[in-house]
Amino acid sequence: MKEKLVLIGNGMAGIRTLEELLKLEEAGRYEISVFGDEPHPNYNRIMLSPVLAGEKTFDEIVLNNREWYAENGIILHAGDPVVEIDRVARQVKSTSGKSVAYDRLLIATGSTPFIIPVPGADLRGVIGFRDIKDVEIMLEIAASHKKAVVIGGGLLGLEAANGLMKNGMDVTVVHLMDTLMERQLDKPAANLLKASLEQKGLKFLMEAQTEAILGDEHVTGVKFADGSAVEADLVVMAVGIRPNIELAQQAGIHCERGIVVNDTMQTFDPKIYSVGECVQHRGDCYGLVAPLFEQAKVCANHLAQLGYGRYEGSVTSTKLKVTGIDLFSAGEFNEEEGDETLVLQDAAQGVYKKLVIRDNRIKGAVMYGDTMDGTWYFQLLREGTDISSLRSTILFGQHDLGDAGHGDETRVAMLSDDAEICGCNGVCKGDIVNAISTKGLFTLEEVRAHTKASASCGSCTGLVEAILASTVGEGYDASPNKQAMCSCTELSHDEVMEAIQKEQLKSMRQLFDYLNWKTPDGCASCRPALNYYLLANWPDEYQDDLQSRFINERAHGNIQKDGTYSVVPRMFGGLCTPKDLRAIADVCDKFEVPEMKVTGGQRIDLFGIKKEDLPAVWRDLSEAGFVSGHAYGKAMRTVKTCAGKTWCRFGTQDSTGLGVKLEELTWGSWMPHKFKLAVSGCPRNCAEATIKDFGVVCVDSGYELHIGGNGGIKVRVTDLLCRVETAEEVLEYCGAFTQLYREQAHYLERTAPWVERVGLGYIKQRILEDEVGRKTLYQRFKLSQRYAQVDPWKARADGAQANEFTPIQLAV
């Protein structure tokens, strides 16, 4: 006969405990009942702010729908809170009169918002910000009233203020302290935050002590200790929370500030466990999600009677996104006597970083604007790592590569597997990589579903996307489905591309000014995309901005996990001569290259080259006649070929010769993403042309042209575009298709999702049915190639304009 497990509280901590329990085989020992105060299934309270702001619906923040309870045999009593615990009879009683017996009881009653005990606090229109009902009241008042006061300048208060402002209200934030979010930020970071929020339209009253809430039945204003007052139709109190322990106290369970538990999450009654914000463990109460989920895992372990889990407290970090601004803090970030501080501040870019150091170990960290390295700093802090050798570069992140582009992939690649990525759910990098690899995950939503990383507050979304991009490689498309390009603008990729063409915007500055960019010089997310769009539209007028490119593209070398680079010289169609091989061998000997490898793209990759040697390596390769293989950029990569009819007894056409012509046509092309071609000499398809971005399969009567293929984890077989008779037609159709993709795809969108998005019919109409249009596209492609196919080393010597790096630029 099954034991009876009763959970009081249908919130995130309690249900997470059940989720952890259900992962264990021993979960079958229980018949589970859940009592919740609210008439809803379990939902994500962290996401109430986006619901208030109109960015999400309630259904989108539900974590476990009613079907989940039924599928797992859990009886849910929603909207029927427990009012009594009878420890002698081991049963609970609910508001509706239900009595349910238990063998094990789990209390997860959470916390309640603190309402300042001032006159008028009980007026209509004065509420906390704790559940979906509060959000519904705020939205109802915002629909018919205009003035709101939010008391509390912490995270919750600022999110409430932002949401109300987005609903058209005139919002004033009242804060008792002189700095916002004083528990998460030091004064410089708080001042940056305040200035940014004021620009968005929020008003602030700092060091203001509330004396009374004004009004008869409904609130009309707020009065302060200095005698001043402000009008208000709505007052939201977001000044803190208190553990909800009343029920436990009535049952005689030992409580102090919270319900006191030991390291196995047991209360003083061994049949009763407790987790979440209602708990006090080793003198501490936690309000962040990550510690609560750690507690949940330990509690589930002991409910399953495995007996080896212990909760020993949490070292916490806070990574937040407040009204679109990234913040991070960990440890003790307000320095004391004997501490050292390392500070990086760039007000123009809205970036601030401070590390508090003691005995060459990180004691605390606070970051504003750029928080990507927060995970790394937190790992160094938690592990007590000696940073003596890192002091000169540590503020620049995990590697000082000067990467102005998407360095996120490189940064996460250098994190260890036990580095915590999602603090809310305690998910490490290794957990995410393992799930992606073993389950074939391909999208952010799939990773969220399998690991819960990024499923709570969402502040680690960028890290999770970077891990996806790093792990999946070929197939991950980070940006096309996002509404806005980035936080610098509300415009989508399509809207920006249309404006560039329609308004003849031909420089970054013109673009930023005309489109009212929120940040003066853009950010690391939008600048690479904008640089590409401008270059694709105006190849003969726009000067490629090297600092808006990925470091790999600027250096023509691919960063490896040990910090060295690999270099791939181009070998057209995979052909080479003894002289070519000798030249590569000479470079390898001269620079002591530790490893050479023949790549899948029929070239030779030189591994282990130091960053400082890259200019000299490329100088020597250039003098031997080699140009960049672009194996590291958002560009045309390779044209893979088979032997063809010259040597192969099955070959129908000269596939190698055609491959060389295609590579000569397309090399040096900057693209929205990597772009690969292949030519197979017969339908046996040895060059794998039907999983390339543009593939050619030679047949007796001519050539089949294929588009939109993709290798990697998520394979997509190409669509057949058409059949042509001559090699010249292959080149024309290839150039036209490539130019159409270059001009219309979103940055970081590969051909496979692009073809699916715009439709094969549209592409056929532009390439096959519109002959004039096809030839125009081809001519535009060849025009752009005049400016792209300039050898950077020879161009420097000849004084010509190069769109690639020079030795001096790279050295800088």
Neighbour-count burial for 515-547, b at 16+ CB within 10 Å, e otherwise: bebbbeebbbbbbbbbbbbbbbbbbeebebbbe
The 10 Å Cβ neighbour count of residue 634 is: 25
Average pLDDT, the chain: 86
Instruction: Give CA separation, 550 vs 352, 409, 471, 784, 795, in Å.
Output: 22, 11, 18, 21, 22
The pLDDT-based confidence of 465 (bands split at 50, 70, 90) is confident
- Measure the CA–CA gap between 590 and 567, rounded to whole angstroms: 14
Instruction: Identify the residue with better confidence: 592 or 321.
Output: 592
Q: Which residues contact 681 (CB under 8 A, 6 or more apart)?
A: 641, 642, 643, 644, 645, 648, 650, 651, 652, 653, 654, 655, 656, 687, 698
**Residue stretches of the annotated binding site for siroheme:** 686
**One-letter-per-residue 3-state SS of 38-50:** CCCCEECHHHHHH
pLDDT greater than 90 at residue 461: no
The pLDDT-based confidence of 467 (bands split at 50, 70, 90) is confident
pLDDT greater than 60 at residue 811: no
pLDDT at 458: 67
pLDDT greater than 50 at residue 806: no
pLDDT greater than 60 at residue 268: yes
Query: 574-623, pLDDT tens digit by residue?
Result: 888 899 899 999 999 998 989 888 877 788 888 888 888 888 888 888 88
pLDDT at 714: 66
Q: Strand locations in 202-313, DSSP E?
A: 203-206, 210-215, 219-224, 229-231, 234-237, 241-243, 259-261, 272-274, 279-281
Query: 327-338, pLDDT tens digit by residue?
Result: 889 888 888 888
Query: 549-578, pLDDT tens digit by residue?
Result: 777 777 778 777 677 888 888 888 788 889
SS3 category, 357: strand
pLDDT greater than 70 at residue 8: yes
pLDDT at 480: 42
pLDDT greater than 60 at residue 7: yes
The pLDDT-based confidence of 473 (bands split at 50, 70, 90) is low
pLDDT greater than 60 at residue 791: no
DSSP 543: P
Instruction: Identify the residue with better confidence: 787 or 242.
Output: 242
- Measure the CA–CA gap between 480 and 748, rounded to whole angstroms: 7
DSSP 515: T
- Measure the CA–CA gap between 745 and 747, rounded to whole angstroms: 6
Q: Residue 584: which H helix or E strand, with range?
A: helix 578-590
- Measure the CA–CA gap between 528 and 304, rounded to whole angstroms: 51
The pLDDT-based confidence of 437 (bands split at 50, 70, 90) is confident
**Residue stretches of the annotated binding site for [4Fe-4S] cluster:** 642, 648, 682, 686
The pLDDT-based confidence of 223 (bands split at 50, 70, 90) is very high
pLDDT greater than 50 at residue 340: yes
DSSP symbols for 739-780: HHHHHHSPTT--HHHHHHHH-HHHHHIIIII-HHHHHHHHHH
Query: 297-315, pLDDT tens digit by residue?
Result: 999 999 999 888 899 998 7
The pLDDT-based confidence of 783 (bands split at 50, 70, 90) is confident
**Residue stretches of the annotated binding site:** 642, 648, 682, 686
Query: 114-151, pLDDT tens digit by residue?
Result: 999 999 999 999 999 999 999 999 999 999 999 999 99
Query: 38-80, pLDDT tens digit by residue?
Result: 999 999 998 898 899 888 889 888 999 999 999 999 999 999 9
The pLDDT-based confidence of 84 (bands split at 50, 70, 90) is very high
Least confident segment among 133-137, 284-288, 393-397, 658-662? 393-397
Query: 141-182, pLDDT tens digit by residue?
Result: 999 999 999 999 998 999 999 999 989 999 999 999 999 999
The pLDDT-based confidence of 792 (bands split at 50, 70, 90) is very low
Q: What is the mean pLDDT of residues 639-644?
A: 90
Q: Give first-to-last CA distance, the chain, whole Å.
A: 73
The torsion angles phi and psi of 200, rounded to 5 degrees, stand at -75, -15
pLDDT at 450: 85
Query: 198-215, pLDDT tens digit by residue?
Result: 988 999 999 999 999 999
Query: 386-435, pLDDT tens digit by residue?
Result: 998 888 888 887 644 333 334 455 566 667 787 778 866 778 888 898 88
pLDDT at 793: 38
* Token pair 């490539």 in the structure block, residue: 738
Q: What is the mean pLDDT of residues 180-207?
A: 92
Domains of the chain: 3-111+243-303 (3.50.50.60), 126-239 (3.50.50.60), 493-549 (no CATH), 636-790 (3.30.413.10)
Q: Which of 106-120, 588-602, 640-654 has the highest mean pLDDT?
A: 106-120
The torsion angles phi and psi of 149, rounded to 5 degrees, stand at -120, 130
The pLDDT-based confidence of 789 (bands split at 50, 70, 90) is low
